[in-house]
């Protein structure tokens, strides 16, 4: 018996416009409660909304980046639904004429390249924020009400939690590249809903769709999908069906919890928002936006391969985020050694960032500092191993590599006379290892070289030590 999981995503993305979608209130995260709002945000009688042109532009940017058809005529609609934190009692959104349609995001899975289709991208306003007190009261902060959003709705083309993760990573990276959102999930700039059901591929029986609301991390998306997938399969095995409902992810209990039964779109009672005039979008404006779009991830990857002569894998890793790509290019501007810079960033730098769950922006040192460190290694001032130790200190303190090298006395020993004396002493103390090496035991040579490096606390020039040990053994 086989099962196929069917997943569609709805992603809400807060846009980085200076002001809100229908008024001139500042669009910024945080601030004292109810200080970023006005009569329009609060939906007070007599207030007239005015659509922010930048919101349209940012939506079009996203549509172009995700291969969508851009509408030449749009209108805004009222979505009548109970929002306790949107005081006017409806959300201004788009119904039957979204800004963008029929795009796709490409991912790479085990089978190769796969296109995840996008049904639509539309613009709308965000709601306020409910704050529940320990005393059981609910307070409302309307600073977020009216913050501009794009909602990206996929086709049900995703079949695994891993595909969902890859899709979201590609989506987030592209949105950051085109500078429409900071995509900070911890601040609510990117929120994801999941629609999931499972089909028995032998009988054709399928479960009802479950909606998972407001997942605020990729980890939560993956865990919630995997939990629901198992829950739906268990129902099918019993010959039962799931309830068509909305559920939420409980991080502490590692399971989903029912919130309410889910109705259809007819419950939204869409109607045209007559306070906002329909807009005809000039095709020349769309082309202008297209021509001024920042370099997209796949274009940057192709350029890195051609301009820096990097392997495809290296270019893919370095362009996975705009920040990593910028850090690489700036480091290489100083170091002028594309492959070495790639090796250090892909190796020690990204490993440390991943281990500590940090971003490139959190680094305490600058690209020039890493370039200087690579330069000290290339010119023989320090060894590669010492360089790794210096980099660890740079992570911790933010000190310049030259300061760390001087302070800790880490300059590489490359003086032939000094090294000769150290090698002679090591060989004199390890006669058996010399015999073993002459008898074909190559590991003995590694041991002798290691003893020299140990006696110099890793500061000896490893290439010189290697050559010197071999030469001095032959002369004995």
> Which regions of 143-254 does DSSP assign to beta strands (E)?
148-154, 190-200, 210-215, 245-250
Residue 385: band (very low, low, confident or very high) from pLDDT cuts 50, 70, 90: confident
**What pLDDT, on the 0 to 100 scale, is given for residue 147?**
94
Tell me which H or E stretch contains 86.
none
Compute the Cα dihedral for 362, 368, 371, 372 and give only its sign: negative
Residue 412 has pLDDT above 90, yes or no: no
Q: How far apart, in whole angstroms, are the C-alpha atoms of residue 105 and residue 87?
A: 35
The 3 state secondary structure assigned to 400-454 is: CHHHHHHHHCCCCECCHHHHHHHHHHHHHHCHHHHHHHHCCCHHHHHHHHHHHHH
Confidence of residue 413 (pLDDT cuts 50, 70, 90): low
CB 201 within 8 A of CB 3: yes
Q: Is the pLDDT of residue 265 over 70?
A: no
Helix, strand, coil share of the chain (percent; to 5)? 45, 20, 35
- The rounded distance, in Å, linking the Cα atoms of 250 and 220 is 9
Does residue 454 register a pLDDT over 90?
A: no
pLDDT for the residue numbered 419: 67
Hey, where are the domains in the chain?
Answer: 3-284, 295-408, 416-475
Q: Give which of 426, 448, 428, 421 is closest to 437, Cα–Cα.
A: 448
Higher pLDDT, 110 or 220: 220
The hierarchical CATH code for the domain 416-475 is 1.10.10.410
Q: How far is CA 242 from the centre of its chain?
A: 33
Task: Report the pLDDT averaged over residues 269-289.
Answer: 91
pLDDT score, position 386: 86
Q: How many Cα atoms sit within 13 Å of 207 on the Cβ side?
A: 30
Residue 49 pLDDT: 93
Q: Is the pLDDT of residue 92 over 80?
A: yes
3-state secondary structure of 218: helix
Residue 74: how many other CB atoms lie within 10 Å? 20
Q: Which residue has the higher pLDDT, 438 or 51?
A: 51
Helix (H, G, I), strand (E, B) or coil at 70: strand
* Per-residue pLDDT at 274: 87
Alpha helices in 366-415 (DSSP H): 367-378, 384-397, 401-408
**Backbone dihedral region of 166: left (phi > 0), alpha (psi from -120 to 50 degrees) or beta?**
alpha
Give yes or no for a contact between 98 and 122, defined as CB atoms under 8 angstroms apart: yes
- Position 186 pLDDT exceeds 80: no
Phi, psi of 209 (to 5 degrees): -70, 135
Q: How many CB atoms lie within 10 A of CB 117?
A: 16
Return the beta strands (E) in 37-142 as ranges: 69-70, 73-74, 77-80, 90-93, 100-109, 112-125, 129-132, 138-141
CA distance 208 to 244: 5
pLDDT at residue number 264:
57
**pLDDT the model gives residue 260:** 79
Beta-carbon contacts of 202 under 8 Å, excluding residues fewer than 6 positions away, are: 1, 2
Rounded-to-integer distance, Cα 73 and Cα 270, Å: 18
Cα separation, 93 vs 88, whole angstroms: 13
**What's the CA gap between 423 and 191, in Å, rounded?**
62
- 167: Cβ contacts below 8 Å, ≥ 6 apart: 9, 105, 107, 116, 154, 158
Looking at per-residue confidence, does 74 or 214 come out higher?
A: 74
Task: Lowest mean pLDDT of 6-15, 110-119, 255-264, 414-423, name the range.
Answer: 414-423
pLDDT tier at 388, thresholds 50, 70, 90: very high
Q: Are 276 and 51 in contact (CB under 8 A)?
A: yes
């Amino acid at each position: 018996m086989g099962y196929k999981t069917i997943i569609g995503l709805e992603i809400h993305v807060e846009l980085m416009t200076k002001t809100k979608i229908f008024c001139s209130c500042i669009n910024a995260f945080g601030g004292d409660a109810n200080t970023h709002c006005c009569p329009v945000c609060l939906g007070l009688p007599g207030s007239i909304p005015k659509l922010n042109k930048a919101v349209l532009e940012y939506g079009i940017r996203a549509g172009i980046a995700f291969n969508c058809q851009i509408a030449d005529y749009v209108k805004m609609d009222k979505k009548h639904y109970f929002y306790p934190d949107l005081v006017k009692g409806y959300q201004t959104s788009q119904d039957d004429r979204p800004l963008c349609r029929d795009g796709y995001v490409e991912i790479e899975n085990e089978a190769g390249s796969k296109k995840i289709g996008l049904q639509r991208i539309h613009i709308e306003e965000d709601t306020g924020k409910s704050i529940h007190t320990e005393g059981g009261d609910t307070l409302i902060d309307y600073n977020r009400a009216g913050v501009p959003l794009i909602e990206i709705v996929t086709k049900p083309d995703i079949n695994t939690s891993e595909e969902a993760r890859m899709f979201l990573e590609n989506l987030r990276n592209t949105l950051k590249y085109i500078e429409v959102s900071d995509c900070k999930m911890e601040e609510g700039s990117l929120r994801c809903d999941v629609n999931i059901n499972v089909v028995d591929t032998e009988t054709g029986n399928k479960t009802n769709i479950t909606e998972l609301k407001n997942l605020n991390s990729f980890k939560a998306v993956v865990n919630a999908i995997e939990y629901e997938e198992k829950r739906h399969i268990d129902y099918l095995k019993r010959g039962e069906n799931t309830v068509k409902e909305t559920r939420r992810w409980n991080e502490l209990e590692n399971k989903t919890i029912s919130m309410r039964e889910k109705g259809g779109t007819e419950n939204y009672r869409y109607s045209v928002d007559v306070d906002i005039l329909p807009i005809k979008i000039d095709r020349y404006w769309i082309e202008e936006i297209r021509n001024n779009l920042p370099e997209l991830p796949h274009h940057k990857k192709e350029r890195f391969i051609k301009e820096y002569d990097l392997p495809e894998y290296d270019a893919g890793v370095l362009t996975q985020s705009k920040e990593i790509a910028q850090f690489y290019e700036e480091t290489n501007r100083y170091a002028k050694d594309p492959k070495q810079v790639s090796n250090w960033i892909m190796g020690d730098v990204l490993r440390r960032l991943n281990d500590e769950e940090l971003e490139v922006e959190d680094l305490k040192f600058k690209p020039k500092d890493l370039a200087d460190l690579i330069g000290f290694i290339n010119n023989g001032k320090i060894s590669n191993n010492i360089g790794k130790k210096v980099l660890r200190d740079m992570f911790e303190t933010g000190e310049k590599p030259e300061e760390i090298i001087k302070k800790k006395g880490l300059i590489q020993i490359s003086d032939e006379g000094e090294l000769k004396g150290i090698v002679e002493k090591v060989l004199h103390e390890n006669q058996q290892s010399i015999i073993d090496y002459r008898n074909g035991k190559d590991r003995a040579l590694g041991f002798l070289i290691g003893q020299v490096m140990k006696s110099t606390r890793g500061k000896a020039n490893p290439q010189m030590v290697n050559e010197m040990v071999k030469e001095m053994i032959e002369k004995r």
